[in-house]
Structure 1
Amino acid sequence: MTAKTLSRIAVYAILLVAAFFFLAPLYVMLATSFKDADQIRAGNLLSLPTSLNFESWQLAWSTACTGVDCRGLKPYFWNSVTMAVPAVLISTAWGAINGYVLSMWKFKGSEVLFGFMLFGVFMPFQVVLLPMSQVLGFLGLSSSVGGLILVHCLAGLAGTTLFFRNYYTAIPRELVNAARMDGAGFWRIFWRIVIPMSTPILMVTLIWQFTNIWNDFLFGVAFSGADSKPITVGLNNMANTSSSVKSYNVDMAAAVIAGLPTMLVYVLAGQYFVKGLTAGAVKG
């Protein structure tokens, strides 16, 4: 056996071990969600369910209690959809325009402005809770889905601007200069030249923003009201709801439901995410 073969076997072994550790929690969640109470009490944590029992999934979706509200995760799920979709689209479009301006239409002080915007990438979100709550109160958006959309757009703007600005700096300036000489203006260049070349970074930003917004708990628990809580808050309330017998199968089914959209996004569009991250990394 050659050294190259041994090296390849070692690499595969390490990857398999890493995959096992990463996938083990997901396996436990899925297996437990399909078990009934008797199987959970009598079985092993890693044992397979004797049959597929979807009752816990139905309870988690529509009738499980989160505090005194016994409507399951369904209203929280749709709150998250209503919040995440516009917030992702708005923050991505806003970041694309900012990146376009800061890379191709530079003005005096643009680099300084970009530097200040970078503070938003590294600033902990806890420091903006109080001023953001005051802004939402002033705008009349407190405890509403609209307020959460605004918060996530502002919180994600620095990151989306950074993504697009760095990507657009790799676009040949000759294309933009030629379009200007042909009479194309700001928006025509953006829609006809820049956006068609932005598919990789658009996919990266959309996936990145959707994951961050859907999985967010801090803003959801701080700025939502009784009827606008996202699914992460609903899941937390469900897991912490006291009952005479703890329904681990319902909690696990609820956790899978809460994480399913982001898992599907990465399964269906993960290849575009990797391509977008590597696009422009090597310039010939």
Structure 2
Amino acid sequence: MANPSRIDPRSALIGRFVLYAVLIAAVLFYLMPLVVMLLTSLKSMDDIRAGNLISWPQEVLFGAWGKAWSSACTGVSCDGIGTYFWNSFQITIPAVLISTFLGALNGYVLTKWKFRGSDLFFGMMLFGCFIPFQVVILPMAQTLGWLGLANTTTGLVFVHIVYGMAFTTLFFRNFYIAVPTELVSAAKIDGAGFFTIFWRIILPLSGPIFVVCIIWQFTQVWNDFLFGVVFSGGDTQPITVALNNLVNSSTGVKEYNVDMASAMIAALPTLVVYVLAGKYFVRGLTAGAVKG
């Protein structure tokens, strides 16, 4: 008598084949825009007009990348996107580091050094995560004007720190809940103070959630367009604004290969971050999901 619980090898093979076919189709569909961008950036304009979106270049050329970097027109300026690329780094790196550190400090206080009204304070910060970008534009513009930071790189860094701190606080608070409170209590008994416990005990345990916050904030700040176009001007604009100006520029002939090369350059930092550290993102995000 056949065992009803035994799996038919043929059915298992067919099921696995269907699963891999669906996954491969999903990957191809998802990566198609990236493939089109890359192929178009390597073609000449004659090649683009003669072929189709996914045709292979008749001759691989990197001239569009060089022009995008140093001489493409972004509005009235024709100096390329190189300057704006470094502007984005000057904005992103301090904004990510400061908002992540402040989020770690807030999460530490809200879980291990609770005070009267701390839950209400956290709820108000959590509410900040759901405030649309458009709502904060006018009050933030007025604040930057009062501080003398309007249309400056420092002002844009300040905006991203303020807006991102709610998210980093949420991440760190949820992670630190899983850290045993007995560690902090024992350190207090031994005479350790607030910052000693933070530096010696809490931070060494925070590697996974630091990776999560850095990837999250880097992606949000680097890809931001709304804050960049509203709170910056001229030479302080990030690369997303410059890319928009380049694509919508009416100066000269429309060069799709230069547009695609510029888009690839703008996307490279986030692609590199996810390729190098993407596997740690989900691991760190779920590390504090279950209280131990």
What TM-score bracket applies, with the shorter chain setting the length? over 0.9
1:273 aligns with 2:273: no
Match of 1:14 in 2: 22
CA contact (8 A) 2:177 2:288 kept: no
SS in structure 1 at match of 2:234: coil
Match of 2:6 in 1: none
Match of 1:214 in 2: 222
2-structure distance, mates of 1:55, 1:221: 28
CA contact (8 A) 2:224 2:240 kept: yes
1:73 aligns with 2:81: yes
Per-residue CA shift, 1:98-150, capped at 9, x if unaligned? Answer: 00000110011000110011111111010010000000000000000000000
Find 2:169's aligned residue among 158, 161, 175.
161
Per-residue deviation, 1:242: 0.8
CA contact (8 A) 2:40 2:260 kept: yes
1:152 aligns with 2:164: no
1:48 aligns with 2:56: yes
2-structure distance, mates of 1:72, 1:265: 24
Per-residue deviation, 1:7: 2.4
Match of 1:111 in 2: 119
1:178 aligns with 2:186: yes
One-letter code of the match for 2:89? V
1:264 aligns with 2:272: yes
SS in structure 2 at match of 1:245: coil
2-structure distance, mates of 1:264, 1:245: 32
Per-residue CA shift, 1:224-278, capped at 9, x if unaligned? Answer: 0111000000000000001442100000000000000000000011111121122
Match of 2:98 in 1: 90
One-letter code of the match for 1:84? T
Q: Answer with 1 or 2: which has the greater Rg.
A: 2
Match of 2:195 in 1: 187
1-structure distance, mates of 2:291, 2:101: 26
2-structure distance, mates of 1:132, 1:88: 19
Per-residue deviation, 1:52: 1.9
From the superposition, tell whether residues 224 and 164 of structure 1 become closer, same or farther in structure 2 (CA, over 3 Å): same
2-structure distance, mates of 1:82, 1:280: 31
Q: How many percent identity over aligned positions?
A: 62
Say which is worse superposed, 252-261 or 174-183, in terms of deviation. 174-183
One-letter code of the match for 1:67? G
1-structure distance, mates of 2:127, 2:288: 24
SS in structure 1 at match of 2:33: helix
Q: Normalized against structure 2, the TM-score is what?
A: 0.95
Match of 1:240 in 2: 248
Match of 2:35 in 1: 27
Per-residue deviation, 1:5: 2.5
Structure 1 residue ranges without an equivalent (≥5)? none
1:135 aligns with 2:148: no
Match of 1:250 in 2: 258
One-letter code of the match for 1:127? V
